[in-house]
Structure formats: C-alpha cells, structure tokens
Structure 1
Amino acid sequence: MRIRPDETSGVLHPENLTRYAARWIDPDPAVRDVVDTYWHVRWHLDEGEVVDQTIVDLPAVTLTVEAGDVPADLVVTGLHRRAWQRRIAGSGDVFAVRLRPAGLAVLSALRPQDLADATTPLTGGIDDGLRALLARIAAAGTPDDRARVADALVAERLRAHPPSPAHLLANEVLDELRSRAYRRTGTPLAEHFAVSERSIQRALSATLGIGPKQAARRIRLQEAARAIAVHGDDDLAEIAVELGYADQAHLTSDFRAATGTTPGAYRRQLRQLAGQRQSGNAL
C-alpha cells in the first residue's frame, strides 16, 4: 500500500514520498506486539541530485535492510529528540521494520538509551543476534517476501522471549497517546490504565528511553507537520488548538525546537517547492 503524502509518516516535505515509491506492508497480526509496521522505499535520483530529507519520527526504534547508495547494509535507528536528516542520492532500496515499544527487548540485547539520537550500522559485535536476524530478512527477494520472513523470525523470537507486562503496557500507552493527538482533554493515563503514573513512566523509559510527555510531544509534532503540509490554507492558530497546544506561540516554539524552523517558514518552503514543480512541469 503506497504511503500517501497526506498520511502521518513523519516525513517533512511529504511530496518526496511519491518520488521514493514508498509503501507500507502490514505485519502478521501474530507479531503485532513487536512490529508496528513494515515499510519499503526505492529511489533513483538524477546524477548529482541530493535530497536532505528531514524526518520527525514516531517514538519508535526502526530496523532497516539497505542497498545501493546507503551508509550501511543493516542499520538500527533509535529515537531522536529532534528532527533528523537522511541524505538521499543516487539509487537505493530500504526495507524497514518499525518496532512497537515492546519490540526491542524481544529482538535485541540493546537498550533504547544505547540507540538514542543515532543511526547505528549493525557491525559485528554490536548485537550479533539482531544482525543475524536482519541478514536473514535481507536474503529474501522482494519486500513482500522480506515481510513474511520477518513475520516468521519475529514469531520465533516471541515464543522464546515474550514481552513482559510492563512492555505490553508501554505498547498500550503509545497507542493511546496516538489516538489522543487531536483530543484536548481525556482521562489521565494512569487512571485510564488503572496503574500508577510511576508504572507508566517506567514502562516507557524501559522501552523507549523517554516518558509519556516526551512521547506525546513527538506525536503532536508529527501531526503538526502533516497538518501544515496537507492543509496549506488552514490557520496555524487553528491547527495549534486542534492539536492541544495552548496557542500558536506554543506550537511555533515546539516546532522550531524540534525542526530548526517555524511552522510559517515550513509552510512557505512547501509553497515554494510546489511552485518550482509547477514551473518545471510547464516547461
């Protein structure tokens, strides 16, 4: 299923998704405690062309199998506190496994703190078990074949290392935070899940390396970037209110801190790029 520019993908300048032939691949329901989604991108840029793609990612660890003009063949990407950039040039192909919070402990000995703010090549000695798993996925042919191999390997790991109740709680908390992105009020998380606030804090810290406030902020930033890109004429103050910010100034401050630019400047970039594309198509 193609990733549409109007979906929540975390990709700033989401029109690039059409150039990358980006698509989602659903995991088997049996591995949903570990895998949020698979995705695949393939690109072929003109000689000398470089795209610095900015990403505001979901609070998640992502495993990738890569080929072509890429930094490494097997990679694990941790949570980033700010938007981060991936330089894209030449030709390449990436198959990714985006994990749910419980997933890292099932598949790896690495901790989320080991991976924070980094994209780490899985060289020998970092996590040989995880490297072997990704190598087996890489050996499959098509992206769909890789997804099915990943399903089988993850299911095998799940049987050997089932997630703890605390890690499953982290899954549920992140799902709830994603569902609340456009809700201004709601039952406190601790009350909603009938646990203590400390239990929620510990669950997310152990699986993501952050707390619920930081996770909620990241989710809102993803939605803010999507809303600005998709609803280009909507008032920024209205977007801020819909996403639960106190006001437009709060949205602007949060967006600038994460991406290095303001919502207004980002909107102007999008319009400028759209105008350039239209001019190019008219030639």
Structure 2
Amino acid sequence: MNPRTQAIEDTERSGVLTPSNLRRFEAEWVQPSGAACDVVGSYWAVRWQFPGDEAVAQRIVDFPAITLSIEDGDVPAPFMVTTVRPDAWSRVIRGRGTVFALRLKPAGLHVLSDLEPTSLTVEQALTCELDPRAFEAMRAIAAGHSIAERASRADRIIAEMIRERPIGTTHALANAAVDALTSSARVRSGRAVADRLGISERTLQRALRSTIGLGPNDVARRIRLQEVVRLLSTPGADTASIAAELGYVDQAHLINEFRAVAGTTPGRYLRDLRRSLEGVSTTDGGA
C-alpha cells in the first residue's frame, strides 16, 4: 500500500452506522501533500463489486465538511458535491463502482469552486453548468487511472488553484476552528473555541458559516456524534458512560441528539448493530 494511504477501519471515527459494512468494500484514506493540505482534510477512496442483485444499505453520520467526489459504476452521477445534512447520509449500494473523494477543509470551497455553501443542497451532481471551476478540476483529477495517480493529480491541481486564488484570513481561521473542534469530541461551546483561537465568538460564527454553512456548535455536535457512533461500536458499550465521557448534560441529551440524526435510539441501534455483527460472523464462519 502507498505510504500515504490507510485502510478505513471499523474501529475509527468514520461515522459509518454499520461498521461491518466496511468489510464489504475496499475503503481507504489518502493523505494530501504539499499545499493541498491547507484545502483538503483527506482524500478517500472506495471500491466495491457485489454479485447479482445484492445490495448494501450504507448510512453515515458524516463529518461536517463539503465533499467533492468522482464516481463510477452504479452511482448517481460522475461528479458529486455533498454537504452536511441534518440526518445521516444514506445510499443503497449495488453492482460495481468506485469513488474518489476530496473531503474539503473550510478553505476548500473558496479555492476550488465558485459556489457558496449556503446555495448547496445536501447532495447534487457537479456539472459544468453548476460550477465550471470545480467541474474542470474534478475532470482533470479523474483522468488518473489509479487512486495514487488521482491523489497526485489532485495535489498538483489544487496547488495551482491556490496560487490563483489564495487562502484568506477568514478561511484560515475556519480551518483552525474545525481542527480545534476535531481534536476532542467532548462537548465544547463556540465561545470556548473562540477563546482558544483568540477571537470573538461572532467572528468564529461568521468564518464557519461563510465557508461550510454551519456554526461552531453544529460542527461540534456532528463531530461528537461521530464519536458516539465509534464508542457504541466498542465491546460493552454503555450509553450512560458515553454521555458522561463526552460531556453531555445527561443520557437523555445524548439520546435525543443521536435519534435526531440516526433516526433511532442508541439502545435500538446497539441491538441492531449486534445482530448485524452476528450475521457477519455467521457468514465468515461459513466461508
């Protein structure tokens, strides 16, 4: 494996609501390099091939970021732009296909696109009519024949686009805010993050809303829920302990936030998760 790549494991904070599904795909993170690191949090790639009419329902509590993706096979469109939705991302995956995606940092949309975050729907085809700048960049990246080649192309193309359209103070500030929120999933207010960065809470709000369309409390809430998903997937998971560990007011607070996004309670989710793991074990044992 390329030293820049790392398999997406079912024990990490990926937000995948059925972690055992990751065993059905070839899924990996690819780290950007050079100037692209200021624009892209991570590249990620997924490949799958299912026989016949087999399908996998994939649901993810997604990271609070805008994503540009190159998709091939049984997919909605060749290029997609996705932003954070109020509930979990959901797609039924069939046949064969590949995805190579750029999970943008807050500065990314400004550099790679002429779109405004508030103008985006949760998921839509990225066409030349929608945004010529981002479309041409993704088309050039898609010319790579492998994940490694696409990552290298993306690094080079993004570096050129940064020279054309440099990262401003607001974008750099928004990047720093998301980095600070990602570093710990415990409950933290926008005020606490603003104090850490030495700015006003209002300045922080403006920076994040103008770059990813979310405020700091929304970003923190989504990262925290990704960590809830990860902790619920660990042996002996207990909702009350997780609520205390992550700084929720109480267990009911965690349950309400989780249900609002995942559409189920943590208790029911745990029961469904255990059943899915038992199914995987049975399948593996009969292989």
- TM-score range, shorter-chain basis? over 0.9
- 1:26 corresponds to: 31
Contact map agreement 2:25 2:46 (CA 8 A) in 1:
yes
For residues 241 and 72 of structure 1, what CA distance do their matches in structure 2 show? Answer: 42
Deviations along 1:261-282, one digit per CA (max 9) or x if unpaired, are: 1111111111101112222334
Letter in 1 for 2:73: G
How far is the alpha carbon of 1:227 from its aligned partner? 0.8
Contact map agreement 2:187 2:248 (CA 8 A) in 1:
no
What does 1:123-138 correspond to in 2, within 5 Å? Answer: 123-138=127-142
- 2:167 corresponds to: 163
Does residue 119 of structure 2 align to residue 97 of structure 1? no
Does residue 68 of structure 2 align to residue 63 of structure 1? yes
Write out the 4+ residue segments of structure 1 that deviate beyond 4 Å after TM superposition: 183-187
Contact map agreement 1:27 1:35 (CA 8 A) in 2:
yes
For residues 155 and 62 of structure 1, what CA distance do their matches in structure 2 show? Answer: 18
For residues 222 and 130 of structure 2, what CA distance do their matches in structure 1 show? Answer: 28
- 2:89 corresponds to: 84
Contact map agreement 1:184 1:242 (CA 8 A) in 2:
no
For residues 137 and 235 of structure 1, what CA distance do their matches in structure 2 show? Answer: 44
- 2:7 corresponds to: 2
How far is the alpha carbon of 1:14 from its aligned partner? 1.4
For residues 73 and 170 of structure 1, what CA distance do their matches in structure 2 show? Answer: 29
Q: 2:143 aligns with which of 130, 139, 148?
A: 139
- 2:3 corresponds to: none
Does residue 276 of structure 2 align to residue 273 of structure 1? yes
Letter in 2 for 1:274: L
TM-score (norm 1): 0.95
Q: Secondary structure at the match of 1:32?
A: helix
Deviations along 1:71-100, one digit per CA (max 9) or x if unpaired, are: 111111112121120220000000011100
Letter in 1 for 2:75: V
For residues 241 and 186 of structure 1, what CA distance do their matches in structure 2 show? Answer: 20
- 2:58 corresponds to: 53
What does 1:84-233 correspond to in 2, within 5 Å? Answer: 84-116=89-121, 118-182=122-186, 188-229=192-233, 231-233=234-236
Q: 1:247 aligns with which of 247, 250, 265?
A: 250
CA RMSD, Structure 1 to Structure 2 (Å)? 1.6
Q: Secondary structure at the match of 1:22?
A: strand
Q: Secondary structure at the match of 1:15?
A: helix
For residues 11 and 258 of structure 2, what CA distance do their matches in structure 1 show? Answer: 19
For residues 249 and 5 of structure 1, what CA distance do their matches in structure 2 show? Answer: 26
